[in-house]
Structure 1
């Protein structure tokens, strides 16, 4: 089959690799000059005049990302070489918070809860009771429930130190607006499931090389070595159906996979002549949340590569990463603001003030705001399906699936479309 994949983010790369392994003749179109979509490398100039490869937003994986880690291995990446593994840790700069031991699930979670620093026994038992209730319910709840409603019985300390950071990092939506149904699915797989290759499902996997080397660069080399064509800087202008074939800017293919952002996919579908009102309506109804990463210099060496932060008015960042412990230069920190406002200047100023309040006077280096980083993962959300018309598919972290807008959700979506091509 002659297959066109429009978009070389992680979903498109997953679809292209899987389809190539199935024997299809794959052509990848990527509008940007760099592969990876919203998870790609970014070159910045340092204060001393040197350069460093960072990321278009700080990302993190977990051991439960079995599809993503498997795809990395298929294209020749050794996850242990490019990812720093840590048992789940949500410590604050003052040392309080949760840190799981490197034990098998679910004993790691139980021990981590009982050993949590700064938590009273009431805090710990409220979470243990809730966790047991979620397990009995098989991590399911009514689609209309929000995370705030689901966790209302937990103590304020547990909600602040655990639920809020997990919710915004996984769903990029604040607890009062986010889907408890999706949150529970993530919690079940991450905290109580098995990970890839013997890793715990809850293990944090932090890139210690730029995101290009974590997957996109190696996937491009693998695809080209297998005879697939990767066209960089090639934005598809139109997709048209011609009898049993599809045309991408006049070039014929047997099938087309739209692995581009949802707004771009909707544009192409609307202009294709295909009657897909339900798909278009679901795609165009999606709301979006931003994610900001504020890179700063002059920071201290942190006690851990990742610290959780207590966010609130005037303190927008929920996490800070010590890039010096992840292969970067000394003093380089990355502050992450999930579900962030999109005003770059005021956001950057607030993060600098938040850092100064922690006793870390720093200077801004680069602020990246991805305005449409993820869809808003709200209760009862109806996401568009992967099938649009015979021979026309969509994949991406926004497409119907079990996970929120994560790298794992994107990769699974791409693999699912490639599997559907065989039927």
Structure 2
């Protein structure tokens, strides 16, 4: 091959999608350069330092079904068994609800059996949950047409929605059930509960996401001949005879292929100089967003919760994580609030106070005193709103050398599309890279 035409790939954006694309491309021997406008890789999966501690920009969990996420970690040399705490599915809302899978049973009976024995539900409510899951499996978790999740749940008892389906929807889709895509929710249920038992396992990170994902991926890219450029915002793309020219404020560079792995609201400025991109730009600009708040509360180091992760029902807080049990950050609790809600009207100080009061109500024996300090991390546009029937841009663009990657990008098949998760981003990055690799 003419060296002038040898593949040179630019990946724009250093979040999970961009890192996954660059890892796969460098692994295949492609000359790859990763550009990120920030001084720090990771996008929303990055860490910050506060009070001498490394805190995640948002508290995340993985599932056993997240095959692409696990593949990325393994490729980058991360020791899965020590870096992730793997637990059989256990959803615990103290004094309200408890669901545990039954490891002795094969899938999906380990979940159906767990639902039949769930604590905090009447027999009729447990039976309704089992019938619902069984009917979804008979339908192969496919709907004739997408619709808001609350319509699919219309026959489910109110309490079952409150303690099970709504918390799962908020955790997976970060979108209220009144507008959330039922099909995207069913896609997650299918992958997590309908195949292997291990798919439903909870994988709780034992290190911050910079340590777990970002640094290993960056090291892999650079050790395999790729380049990582920080503080390198790309301002526009321009078509060339054999590829694409990238322009920044200070220079221009030519590449044979480009993967755009930025947030969707940053796509339009990059594509507006290229022909036939109006539909993609319009789809990206039409996306709405939902917030995620993570409230960190530092208590005395002797404080510990009964387990590493608990759900919270009927409160502003939705999930609480004991980072002492996960990260060794003793006494530090992280409370996650997904999607829009009343909490957005509170000041950060008032929100932290309210969350402490909620935790104190649930764990009176453990939390008898106020926290020593708090830190609220509010991502106002944490994820795209994964609403029913949402038109999402697909991977391929009208320019044959430009691919999109990101958790918002559609596979082109509604029965495979994921909501805005780490897994969805990594899958998309891998696929964008594979599309380029197949050309050669």
Match of 2:327 in 1: 327
- From 207, 229, 236, the counterpart of 1:238: 236
Q: Give distance in 2, aligned partners of 1:352 and 1:240.
A: 52
Aligned pair 1:396/2:398, yes or no?
no
Match of 1:135 in 2: 137
Matches within 5 A, 1:33-52: 33-45=39-51, 51-52=52-53
Matches within 5 A, 1:129-278: 129-194=131-196, 200-249=198-247, 250-270=252-272, 272-278=273-279
Aligned pair 1:288/2:308, yes or no?
no
Structure 1 stretches of 4+ with a deviation exceeding 6 A read: none
Q: Give distance in 2, aligned partners of 1:226 and 1:96.
A: 48
| Secondary structure of 1:129 counterpart | helix
- From 1, 4, 28, the counterpart of 2:10: 4
Structure 1: gaps (5+ residues): 46-50
Answer yes or no: is the 8 Å Cα contact 2:386–2:419 preserved in 1.
yes
Answer yes or no: is the 8 Å Cα contact 1:29–1:235 preserved in 2.
yes
Alpha-carbon distance, 1:210 to partner: 0.9
Using the size of structure 1 for normalisation, the TM-score is 0.93
Q: Give distance in 2, aligned partners of 1:337 and 1:362.
A: 20
Match of 1:93 in 2: 94
- From 351, 354, 358, the counterpart of 1:350: 354
Answer yes or no: is the 8 Å Cα contact 2:78–2:216 preserved in 1.
yes
| Secondary structure of 1:368 counterpart | strand
Aligned pair 1:301/2:283, yes or no?
no
Q: Give distance in 1, aligned partners of 2:219 and 2:242.
A: 31
Alpha-carbon distance, 1:167 to partner: 0.4
Match of 1:63 in 2: 64
Alpha-carbon distance, 1:244 to partner: 2.3
Answer yes or no: is the 8 Å Cα contact 1:319–1:335 preserved in 2.
yes
| Secondary structure of 1:340 counterpart | coil
Alpha-carbon distance, 1:95 to partner: 6.2
Q: Give distance in 1, aligned partners of 2:236 and 2:328.
A: 41
Quick one: structure 1 residues 369 and 142, their matched pair in 2 at CA, closer, same or farther if it must change by over 3 Å? farther
Answer yes or no: is the 8 Å Cα contact 1:143–1:180 preserved in 2.
no
| Secondary structure of 1:240 counterpart | strand
Q: Give distance in 1, aligned partners of 2:68 and 2:370.
A: 38
Match of 2:4 in 1: none
| Secondary structure of 2:203 counterpart | strand
**1:139-168, Cα deviation, whole Å (9 max, x unpaired):** 011334221111121222211111011000
Alpha-carbon distance, 1:100 to partner: 1.6
- From 29, 32, 38, the counterpart of 1:32: 38
Aligned pair 1:370/2:373, yes or no?
no
Q: Give distance in 1, aligned partners of 2:388 and 2:120.
A: 32
Q: Give distance in 2, aligned partners of 1:327 and 1:408.
A: 22
RMSD: 1.6
Match of 1:17 in 2: 23
Structure 2: gaps (5+ residues): 1-6, 412-416
| Secondary structure of 1:310 counterpart | coil
Q: Give distance in 1, aligned partners of 2:433 and 2:330.
A: 42
| Secondary structure of 1:215 counterpart | helix
Answer yes or no: is the 8 Å Cα contact 2:352–2:374 preserved in 1.
no
- From 380, 384, 390, the counterpart of 2:393: 384
Alpha-carbon distance, 1:349 to partner: 4.0
Which range moved further: 393-402 or 232-241?
A: 232-241
Using the size of structure 2 for normalisation, the TM-score is 0.90
Q: Give distance in 2, aligned partners of 1:74 and 1:66.
A: 12
